[in-house]
Amino acid sequence: MTKPNHRILLKLSGEVFSKEGKGSGLHLRTLHTLAGHMKDVIHHDIQLVIVTGGGNIWRYRDNAASGIERTVSDYMGMLATIFNGVALQASLESIGVQTRVLSAIQIPQLAEPYIRRRALRHLEKGRVVICVGGTGNPFFTTDTTAALRASELSCNVLLKATNVNGIYDRDPKRHRNAKRYKELTYTEALEKHLDIMDQAAFSLCQDQRLPIRVFDFRKSGNLLKAALGEDVGTLVHD
């Protein structure tokens, strides 16, 4: 087993907050299960930063035909990430995990403003930092937010939680013979046109030499294994 990561960033897509197979809404039992997995990580003295998505509630690409202008739609998506982040905070604190929600959008009744030094101080005190509101700007995904926060908070690795166990050469749900990659370089991932993250996020990770591990978050024990640097899912690195 490799050396444990001292500080990790966990990117949660909005879909992980929903009931498995549904992809929308907030499922409380699933939420509490996720919180339990995170508590296991904290007990290993690993500092945890979380970036929440909002696709289970609203996402532009799923609602492009709605007639809502792109900028407004993206802000709606940012509000959805706040909803998920505050719900996750409540679930974590109900099991004794101290958290702070930091938002790129000013919403003082629910969250502190995202300030890098403040986030670092919370981490040093052993609190889980939940980053919401995306980057605070339209046209940027929460994948980009995750890459940005991981870079500026000096995280050792970016863990991307998905509903499949890593990166495949084709959709494993449609192709039984799909091949899973154990490791990839950034260049290989680009050349193979593998849909890991949007290009802005991926380019930032590549520039900062920030490893990305893609894994199945719903499988019990996988988050802890990934946080400890064990071989789970797919690792993309330099």
Write a three-state SS string for the chain.
Answer: CCCCCCEEEEEECHHHHCCCCCCCCCCHHHHHHHHHHHHHHHCCCCEEEEEECCCCCCCHHHCHHHCCCHHHHHHHHHHHHHHHHHHHHHHHHHCCCCEEEEECCCCCCCCEECCHHHHHHHHHCCCEEEEECCCCCCCCCHHHHHHHHHHHCCCCEEEEEECCCCEECCCCCCCCCCCEECEEEHHHHHHCCCCCCCHHHHHHHHHHCCCEEEEECCCCCHHHHHHCCCCCCEEEEC
- The residue that leads in pLDDT, 23 or 184, is 184
Higher pLDDT, 162 or 53: 53
Which pLDDT band, with edges at 50, 70 and 90, does 1 fall under?
very low
Question: Which residues are within 8 A (CB) of 200 and not within 5 positions of it... i.e. 6 or more apart?
Answer: 140, 141, 143, 144, 147
* Per-residue pLDDT band at 146 (split at 50, 70, 90): very high
pLDDT value for 138 = 96
Rounded (5°) CA angle 233-162-216: 40
Q: Are 195 and 46 in contact (CB under 8 A)?
A: no
- Is a pLDDT exceeding 70 seen at residue 4? no
CA 211 from centre of chain: 14
What pTM does this model have? 0.93
How far CA 48 is from CA of 37, 97, 99, 131, 217, in Å, comes to 12, 11, 10, 11, 15
Q: Which residue segments constitute the domains of the chain, with CATH numbers given? A: 7-237 (3.40.1160.10)
